Structure 1
Amino acid sequence: MQPRYPTPEHGTRIVVSPSKIALGTGAVTEVGDYADLYGNKALVIATQQIFDIHGQEILETLRDSGIEAVTYTDVRPDPTITNIEEAYELWRTEDCDVIVTLGGGSSIDTGKAVGVLATNPGSIREFGVDRAGYEGVPNPTPPLVAVNTTAGTGSEATRSIVVTDDETSTKFLIVSQNVVPDVAIEDPELTRSLPQSHTAFTGIDALTHAIEAFVSVKSYAVPDDYARAAIERIADSFPKAWANGDDIEARTEMMIGQLQAGQAFTNSSVALVHGMARPLGAQLHIPHGLANALILPYVMEFSAMAAPEKYAEIARLLDAADETTPDRVAAKKASEAVLELCTSVNLSSYLGEFGEVPDRETYLDIVPKMSSDAIDSGSPDNNPRKPTESEIEDVFIRIYDDALAPDSPRRTSETV
C-alpha cells in the first residue's frame, strides 16, 4: 500500500495552493479588487471566444477598481510558444504589473508562462522539466489573478504549465511552486457558457487529475483527501452538468470538484495517462480532456494490479463496488466504471469534430514517437505500475482499435 504520510525518503512536504480562492456565484465581480492588491496595469489574457463572452465584465470590474487593462486574446487551445512570446512582448512593452487570465487551462497556462519570462531570463522552452527538472523556475512570477471559466483543468490551483511547441508538434511541461496563481476566481456562473462538448472534456480532465493523483507513487495524506473528495463529487455532478448546463448546483459542485482535483495532482502528481495524453493530443490535435478520456480506462486496467487497494477505493467512490467486494475484484471494476461514465457523456463521439484521426497504418507509424515522448515527459515514472516503452505502444494501439478508429466499439456505441 502506498504511503499516506511523508516518509523519511520523501522528507518534508510542501502543500501548494493559491494564496486566495474566491468561490461562488458573483465572485467574478471581485476581480478588480484583487488585481488592485497587486498592481495598477493588468495584462488580460484570454481566447477571443471567451473574451467575447466575459471580457467586458472583466474590464469593467478592473476599471471600477482603477486598474488599466491591456488585452491579449490570441490564445489558442493548447497554448503555443508563439502565444506565450506574443503575450509576453505585450506585457513588456505596455509595462504591466499584474496578470489577469480569463478562461480555462489554455489562458491560465499562457499567463503563468508570461510570468516565467517576466522574471526569469531565457526562452520558455528552457524551463521544461525535461531540461530544467521539477522546480526549474528560479524566480517567483508576477502577481496572477486566474478567472476560471471551466470545470476541469484545475490550472488556477497548480504549479504546472503545459505548452505546445508549434515547430515540433510536441508538448512539454513546466512545474514550479513559483507559478501558482495568487488568486483563483471560481464563479460557477461563468461555466454556463461552456458547450456540452467542452463540459465533457473538462469534466473528464478533472476526474483524471483526481484519479492519477490518488494512485501516484508520490501520493500522501493531503492530496489523497483532496482526490477522494473530488472523485466522489465529480462522479455525481459531472453527468448532471453535462445533461443540463443550466443546473447551477451541478456546475458549482463541478467547480469545487475540479479545484480539489487540481489541488490533489499539483501536490502529488499526474502519471501515465497524462504522459500519453500529451503526445496523443499533439499528434492528433485532440483536446487535452478528450485525450485523457480516450486513455484513462485502459491505463487504469493496466495499472490496477500494482495498487489494488487504491483502485478498489476508486471503484467504491464511483459506486461500482462496496466494502464487501475484495480489493482485487473491486480494483478491476474501477476502469469499467470510468469507461461507463465516458460512454454516458458520449466522449468518443466528439472525435468527428474535435480531432484528426488518421488511418491505422499512419497511426502505427507515429506510435513509437508518441510512446517515446510519453516516457520522456517523466509522468509515467509516477505510475503505480511502471510501463516499458513497448507496453505504452501496446496501450496506444489498443486505444486506436477500441476508441479512435471510426468503426471502433466506443465510437460506434455512442451518439451525440
Structure 2
Amino acid sequence: MHDTVLARETRTVVSPSRIELGAGAVGTVGGHAARYGDTALVVATERIFEFHGDTVVDVLDAAGVDAAVYTDVRPDPTVENIEAAYDLYDRRDCDLIVTLGGGSSIDTGKGAGILATNKGSIREFGVDRAGYEGVPEPTPPLIAVNTTAGTGSEATRSVVVSDESTSTKFLIVSANVVPDVAIEDPELTVSLPRSHTAFTGIDALTHAIEAYVSVKSYGVPDGYAEAAMERIARSLPVAWANGDNLSARADVMVGQLQAGQAFTNASVALVHGLARPLGAQLHLPHGLANGLILPYVVDFSAVAAPEKYADIARILGVADADDTTREAADAAVDGVLRLCEDVSLTGYLDSFGEVPPREAYLDVVDDMAQDAIDSGSPANNPRKPTRGELVDLYLTIYDDALAPDSPRRS
C-alpha cells in the first residue's frame, strides 16, 4: 500500500465548477453568462479576438448579455493590462468576466477580477508579499474560453503578471481566482500556429511533470499528471505536424486541462522558478522558457525521486518494465528532449526571444537566481537547489540551449 499524505492531513482539491468540453462548447458561453448578469467584460488579445471574438460576442448577445471588450492583452500580461481591464469593467458596470484565449487573457481576467472585489494594487497580492491564498475575496463570476492547449489557466488558482518597472514576473495564488466555468472547444485551437502549439504543449508537459514530482504531490493530482503526460506525449507531435487534426487537438486540450488540474492541486517546482526570471529577461514566451529549462531540471532532480522519474520515462516511451528504477529515471531526460525536438522547440528562438551575448547574460544570472528563490517554486522541487546550483543551471541552459552555436540549436 502506498503511503499517502491523505492519511495524515486534509487537502483541498480545486477545479472550475463546470467544464464544457468538446467541439461546439463555445456555444454554451451565453447560457452560463446570463446566469451571472447582463454585462460581461470580454478579455482577449487583439489577434485572438480577430479569430474568435465575433463568435463569443454573438453568443453573448443572443443570450441577452452585453459585451465590454478589452483587447490590449500582452502575450505576458502586465500590471498595466490588468489595471486597464479593470477600469473598463468598472466603467461599464460589468457583472462578470469572460476571457478568450490562453494564459495571458485568462490571467488578465483573473487580475481584473481581483481588483474588482479586493482593495489594493495588483502587486500587493503576489505570493512574495501576501503569501499563498493571499486574495481575500473571490473574483466576480469568471468564464474562461480556452483557445490554446497548454497553460491550464482555466483550471488553476494561479496568476502570473509581468512587472515591467522591474523586468520581473510575480505570481498570485489563491483558490478565489479559479474560474467558475472552463470552456474547452478544440475547434478554437485550430487557428493556433505551429510555434504556439509547441510552446503551449511543452508548457502543459512541464506542468504535469512538475506536479508529479513536487514535494506537495499526492494521489489526486498524480492521477491527473499521469493522464496528462500520456495524452501530450502521444498527441502533441501530431497536433503540431497537422493542426487540422481535431482528434489530436482535442486530446492535447484534455491533457493540458488535466495538467492544469495537477499543478494547481500540487504545485509547480524548480522549472517554473527558473522560467519566470529567464522569460522576463529574454522576453521569451512562457512555454518556450519552460521547454528550454525542463531537460536540465529533470536531469538535476531525478536522483531525489527516482521512482517518479522512472514512471515519467515509461510514460514518455523511453524506458520499459525491464529497466531498473534508476535506469528508467536516468532516461527521463531523453524522453523530454525527444518531445521538444519533435516540435522543433529551439528552432523558434530566432523569432521569439532576445538571446544576449554570454557576457551580458552573466551580468543578470545572479539576479535571476535570486528571483527564482524568491518565487518559492524551487522549494517544491524533490532536489533542493542551492543558490550556486541555480546559477550553474542557468549557465548550462545558456551553453547547451540558448547560445546560437549550442548543441540543442545546432
TM norm structure 2: 0.99
d(CA) in 1 for partners of 2:14, 2:3:
19
Match of 2:232 in 1: 234
| Offset, 1:3 | 5.1
* SS state at 2:190 partner: helix
Match of 1:85 in 2: 83
Cα RMSD (Å) of the superposition?
A: 1.0
Aligned length: 410
| Offset, 1:37 | 1.1
Q: C-alpha offsets along residues 379-408 of structure 1, whole Å, 9 cap, x if unaligned?
A: 000000000111010000000000000011
| Offset, 1:277 | 0.3
d(CA) in 1 for partners of 2:305, 2:88:
48
> Are 2:110 and 1:145 equivalent residues in the alignment?
no
> Are 2:109 and 1:102 equivalent residues in the alignment?
no
d(CA) in 2 for partners of 1:375, 1:336:
27
- Are the aligned partners of 1:4 and 1:219 in contact in 2 as well (CA < 8 Å)? no
Match of 2:243 in 1: 245
Q: C-alpha offsets along residues 88-125 of structure 1, whole Å, 9 cap, x if unaligned?
A: 00111110001000000000000001111000000000
Which AA in structure 1 matches 2:273?
G
> Are 2:350 and 1:360 equivalent residues in the alignment?
no
> Are 2:121 and 1:126 equivalent residues in the alignment?
no
Structure 1 gaps, min length 5: none
| Offset, 1:5 | 3.6
- Are the aligned partners of 1:315 and 1:330 in contact in 2 as well (CA < 8 Å)? yes
Q: 2:386 aligns with which of 385, 388, 400?
A: 388
d(CA) in 2 for partners of 1:16, 1:390:
35
- Are the aligned partners of 1:2 and 1:217 in contact in 2 as well (CA < 8 Å)? no
Q: C-alpha offsets along residues 272-312 of structure 1, whole Å, 9 cap, x if unaligned?
A: 00000000000000000000000000000000000000000
d(CA) in 1 for partners of 2:3, 2:304:
14
Which AA in structure 1 matches 2:297?
V
- Are the aligned partners of 1:242 and 1:345 in contact in 2 as well (CA < 8 Å)? yes
TM norm structure 1: 0.98
- Are the aligned partners of 1:2 and 1:219 in contact in 2 as well (CA < 8 Å)? no
Q: C-alpha offsets along residues 15-63 of structure 1, whole Å, 9 cap, x if unaligned?
A: 0000000000000011111111111100000000000110000000000
Match of 1:373 in 2: 371
Identity of aligned residues (%): 70
d(CA) in 2 for partners of 1:171, 1:395:
19
| Offset, 1:2 | 9.1
* SS state at 1:202 partner: helix
Matches within 5 A, 1:2-401: 4-8=4-8, 11-401=9-399
Which AA in structure 2 matches 1:85?
E
| Offset, 1:166 | 1.1
Structure 2 gaps, min length 5: none
d(CA) in 2 for partners of 1:377, 1:4:
27
Which AA in structure 2 matches 1:344?
D
| Offset, 1:212 | 0.2
d(CA) in 2 for partners of 1:300, 1:386:
13
d(CA) in 1 for partners of 2:230, 2:2:
20
| Offset, 1:319 | 1.0
* SS state at 2:408 partner: helix
d(CA) in 1 for partners of 2:88, 2:75:
20
* SS state at 2:404 partner: coil
d(CA) in 1 for partners of 2:236, 2:95:
37
d(CA) in 1 for partners of 2:241, 2:10:
43
Q: C-alpha offsets along residues 254-275 of structure 1, whole Å, 9 cap, x if unaligned?
A: 0000000000000000000000
d(CA) in 1 for partners of 2:3, 2:244:
41
d(CA) in 2 for partners of 1:90, 1:2:
51
